[in-house]
Copies of this chain bind each other. A is one copy, B any other.
Amino acid sequence: MTPQRQLVIDAVRDLGHATPEQICARVQRAAPAVNITTVYRTLDLLERLGMVRHTHLGHGAPTYSEQEHQHVHLVCHSCGSVSEAPTDLMDDLAERLLRESSFELDVTHVALSGRCADCPDDHRTADDEEIR
């Protein structure tokens, strides 16, 4: 366990869910010399150790969060905000998938996409707004 690794863990914990870039920026506030390469390598390592997990939020960037930090991500593709919902929302679905398709759902790995409460239902299609 090196200082860099500890900093990455702290950053992941503090940020909740963040991209490698954001994590790197955070780490560099404490230790400017830390290279982004190290952040990538460390995230990879921590993930293999089961200490962090990553989730795909839709538009390319994977985000990392603590392993324990389990919830379903709801991404608004109009405003880009990410909110969280309890994983038991998915329990029924998970059960049905297992029964009907023998598919064992990993609830936390992928974000659900849609429009959040704050965004009006204008008629642009959702993807027009997606951050690239």
Contact = CB atoms under 8 A, between A and B. Distances in A.
Interface string A67-92: 00000001111000001010001101
- Interface SS, A side: mixed
Contact of A105 (B105, B106, B112): B112
A56 B53 contact: no
A14 interface: no
A110 B48 contact: no
B126 A109 contact: yes
A111 interface: yes
Interface residues of A, number: 43
A114 B106 contact: yes
A96 B102 contact: no
Contacts of A105: 112-114
Contacts of A101: 74, 83, 85, 117
A60 interface: yes
A115 B105 CA distance: 7
Given A48-B128, A103-B114, A106-B114, 10 more contacts: A54-B127, A60-B60, A74-B101, A83-B101, A85-B100, A85-B101, A89-B100, A103-B115, A104-B114, A109-B114
